[in-house]
Amino acid sequence: MPLPYYVSPEQMMQDKAEYAKKGIAKGRSIIAMEYQDGVLLVADNPSASLYKISEIYDNIAFSGAGKYSEFENLRKAGIRHADLKGYMYSREDVTARSLANGYSQSLGTIFSQELKPLEVEILVAQVGEPGRPNEMYRISFDGSIFDERGFTASGGRAEALQVYLKDRYTSEAQTLKTALALCAAALESITNQKLPLEGLEVATLDRTRVGRKFRRIPPTESRQILA
């Protein structure tokens, strides 16, 4: 009987990480950015029906970069987690922090135990009540979790986006218009070509809304906002 090959744990983790990173870098990018009324999410997504950004709960949104089938499953699991919690306790007890923890646990377990890691990077954003801070969490393929302020980017050439935004983002007085223009310019800068507004998926978590804060902004409305 042939002996199984010995692979050191370091080597195995490194290989898995490389594999996942390669997969995620192949995809397109997503930006989440705070503005005066909440959080803006913009994704480079040519499809008008296969969404990368989605509502999870009253004031929580989700976006996934990487492999569609994989982050779609995570999205559904997130909605179940949130609805179950809201049903069991109360609507205000559903928080982005607990959701992000859940994602981190899930992704971490899959990364270390399964043969193939998930090729996804996830953003969970929560808009705060007036006077309270927003929360943005980026969860990586290996379950590592980053608490972000101001803006964050995931998928595709996320690092280049971070660099681009770091120089240009100012935290005070970002209106929806300036934030959207900055996100669109950032996405254009890494693709080196003009992105039509139809190719951008835009949504906001708007704290001025009553009840459910999540809202999709169709291309026609983005055009009006930018005009």
Partner 1 sequence: MPLAFDDQSSSFFDYLLHQRPDLLPGSRGLASENSVSMPEESRGVVPPPFSHGTTVLALKYERGVLIAGDRRATEGFQIAGRRMEKVFKVDEHSAIAIAGAAGPCLEMAKLFQTELEHYEKVEGVQLSCEGKANKLGQMVKANLPMVFQGLVVVPIYVGFDLKRAEGRIFKYDITGGRYEESDYHSIGSGGKEARNTMREHFRKNLSEEDALTLALRSLYNAAEDDVGTGGPDLVRGIYPTAKCVTASGIGDIEEERMSRVYAGLIEELKRGA
Residues forming the site for partner 1 (CB under 8 A): 49, 51, 54-56, 73, 76-77, 79-81, 83-84, 86-88, 102-103, 105-106, 109
Smallest CA-to-CA distance from 60 within 29, 38, 45, 77 is with: 38
Q: How far is the CB of 60 from partner 1 (least distance, A)?
A: 11
Q: How far is the CB of 94 from partner 1 (least distance, A)?
A: 12
Q: How far is the CB of 116 from partner 1 (least distance, A)?
A: 15
Which CB atom, from 22 or from 212, has the smaller least distance to partner 1?
212
Q: How far is the CB of 100 from partner 1 (least distance, A)?
A: 10
DSSP state of 140: -
Q: How far is the CB of 105 from partner 1 (least distance, A)?
A: 6
Which CB atom, from 153 or from 202, has the smaller least distance to partner 1?
202
Q: Where are the beta strands (DSSP E) in the chain?
A: 30-35, 38-44, 53-57, 60-66, 120-126, 135-139, 145-148, 151-154, 200-206, 214-217
Q: How far is the CB of 4 from partner 1 (least distance, A)?
A: 26
Answer yes or no: are the C-beta atoms of 37 and 208 closer than 8 Å. Answer: yes
Which CB atom, from 55 or from 135, has the smaller least distance to partner 1?
55
Residues 6 or more apart whose CB falls under 8 angstroms from that of 71 comprise 52, 64, 65, 120, 122
The Cα–Cα gap between 141 and 64 comes to 11
Angle at 128 (CA atoms; ends 123, 129), nearest 5 degrees: 155
> Scanning the structure block, which residue is given the tokens 């779609």?
72
Provide the residue type at 53 as one letter: I
Tokens of residue 207, six digits: 């704290």
Which CB atom, from 166 or from 212, has the smaller least distance to partner 1?
212
Which CB atom, from 88 or from 173, has the smaller least distance to partner 1?
88
Answer yes or no: are the C-beta atoms of 64 and 51 closer than 8 Å. Answer: no
Which CB atom, from 14 or from 105, has the smaller least distance to partner 1?
105
